[in-house]
Chains A and B, each alone.
Chain A
Amino acid sequence: MHVGLHHYLLVSIMLFCLGLLGVILRRNLLVIYMSLELMLNAANLALVSFSRFNNKLDGQVLVFFIITVAAAEVAVGLALIVALYRKRQSAHVEDLTSMKL
């Protein structure tokens, strides 16, 4: 069977769910952050394949913006994690429960 839009979308779906599973199952803040990146990348893959099979470049421009925003987001998020680690000496979500009732 010839590889088409469905194949790429299926890969994207599976990658997104892997990222979601990582966010839910892992307890390390950094690994959770990496799983978030995985989910962003899955969305990028879906956008690029839509753009290719619709013969429009706009999807790829959107992916370009997503990559830029993701880079900024990673910088801010990692700075937050470092600041948190300085205060609490831990990068585990189970140790960060001060907002729990």
Chain B
Amino acid sequence: MEAFNNMLAGGAAEDVFFYVFAALTLLCGVLVIMNPFSRNPVTSAMFLVLTIISMSGLFLLLHAFFLAAVQIIVYAGAVLVLFVFVIMLLDLKEEERRRIKLFGFVAGIIAVGGIVSAFVKSLASVKTDGPPPTVEGDTISLGHLLFTNYTLPFEIVSVLLLVALVGVILLSKKKLE
């Protein structure tokens, strides 16, 4: 118990939490795209919720408190509910196992492998010898930045939301001309 407390004091707890959340995020991410037990889209959506929530844990570890909350409220609360709602609306049956075309599969793996190698190569040039991080992503500082330096993008995004609203209503009308 004492050793555990010492570990907490030494900042090692954050490392442990990082590994837990990272493992959870990646595991649930794998289960979103290929679940060996079920190919039902609802299962994918549920694991996407878990991915989002564990990722907001990672945001907390990065001291992005506002974004962690927004991530849960907007993604897990709104976007995923929309997904589940549409799945319910479409009444999708359990997806039968269609034969995956070998050519597409191999080409896909090669493409993903190429992108992975490019990313990992660029990782080597990342400098990590900066000053220790002190920035806090709390609501006050983020809101201050949002309404001083980023006022114009903020307004444009609100217009975009309005356009999306009108577009969705138009698209989901009964008769599409």
Which residues of B are found within 8 Å of A16, using beta-carbon distances? 115, 119
**A8 vs B168: C-alpha distance in the bound complex, in angstroms?**
36
Residues from chain A with Cβ under 8 Å of B78 in the complex: 71
Interface size on A, residues (CB 8 A): 71
Query: Are A10 and B123 touching (Cβ within 8 A)?
Result: yes
Whether A74 pairs with B82 at a CB distance below 8 angstroms is: yes
Binding site for A on B (CB under 8 A): 11, 14-15, 18-19, 22, 25-26, 29-30, 32-34, 39, 41, 44-45, 48, 51-52, 55, 58-59, 62-64, 66-67, 70-71, 74-75, 78-79, 82-83, 86-87, 89-90, 92, 95, 98, 100, 104-105, 108, 111-112, 115-116, 119-120, 123, 126, 128, 130-131, 133-135, 137, 141-142, 145-146, 149-150, 153, 157, 160-161, 163-165, 167-168, 171-172, 176
Interface presence of A96 (CB below 8 A): no
A interface with B by C-beta (< 8 Å): 2-11, 13-22, 24-28, 30-31, 33-35, 37-38, 41, 44-45, 48-49, 51-58, 60-61, 63-65, 67-76, 78-83, 85, 87, 91-92, 94
Instruction: With CB as the reference atom, state the residue of chain B lying closest to A4.
Output: B128
**Distance between B77 CB and nearest chain A CB, rounded to angstroms:** 10
User: Is the CB–CB distance between B79 and A57 below 8 Å?
Assistant: no
Q: Tell me which residues across on chain B come within 8 A of A30, comparing CB atoms.
A: 41, 44-45, 83, 86-87, 90, 92
User: Which chain A residue has the least Cβ–Cβ distance from B85?
Assistant: A78
Q: Is the pair A65, B157 in contact by a Cβ cutoff of 8 Å?
A: yes
Within the assembled complex, what's the spacing in Å between the Cα atoms of A5 and B130? 10
CB distance from A71 to the nearest CB of B (A): 6
Contact residues in B for A25 (Cβ distance below 8 Å): 33-34, 100, 105, 108
In-complex Cβ contact of A70 among B58, B67, B79, B167 (8 A): B79
- Known pairs A18-B33, A44-B55, A67-B67. 18 more at Cβ < 8 A? A2-B15, A5-B126, A25-B100, A41-B52, A45-B59, A54-B130, A55-B133, A67-B71, A68-B161, A69-B160, A71-B79, A73-B164, A74-B82, A76-B167, A78-B86, A82-B89, A82-B90, A83-B171
